[in-house]
Amino acid sequence: SSVVEAPPRLVIDLERLSNVPAERAGPLARYASTIQSQRGDYNGKVLSIRQDDLRTLAVIYDMPPAMLAEELISWGVLDPDARRAVEGGTD
């Protein structure tokens, strides 16, 4: 066990996201496509996002980051390993 462990990357599965009903996935889908266009990164099947972006999305979805992460995991859009990115935060 290492002393300092890097947080897991937050990797959005864009293919699966496209299969989630827009009613729920809409804000995340729009956010992801904005990031893709800012990066000029259009052809990926996945998109790595910032830790900060999950916090921003949690505000948009009006739920705690950990709960939003659980929802994304339940959609298959986020890997279960991403739980470690949101638990034990300092806020």
Chain residues in the site for ligand C2E (CB under 6 A)? 9, 11, 35, 38-39, 41, 44, 46-51, 53
- Which ranges in the chain belong to alpha helices (H)? 14-17, 22-39, 51-61, 65-75, 83-86
State the minimum distance, in angstroms, from the CB of residue 26 to ligand C2E: 18
Identify which of residues 30 and 39 has a Cβ nearer to ligand C2E in the complex.
Answer: 39
Beta bridge partners of 82: none
Identify which of residues 47 and 78 has a Cβ nearer to ligand C2E in the complex.
Answer: 47
**Cα–Cα distances in Å, from 78 out to 10, 48, 68, 90?**
7, 10, 10, 22
State the minimum distance, in angstroms, from the CB of residue 11 to ligand C2E: 6
CB 73 within 8 A of CB 79: yes
Identify which of residues 5 and 23 has a Cβ nearer to ligand C2E in the complex.
Answer: 5
Identify which of residues 24 and 50 has a Cβ nearer to ligand C2E in the complex.
Answer: 50
| CA–CA dist 45, 49 (Å, integer) | 13
State the minimum distance, in angstroms, from the CB of residue 32 to ligand C2E: 9
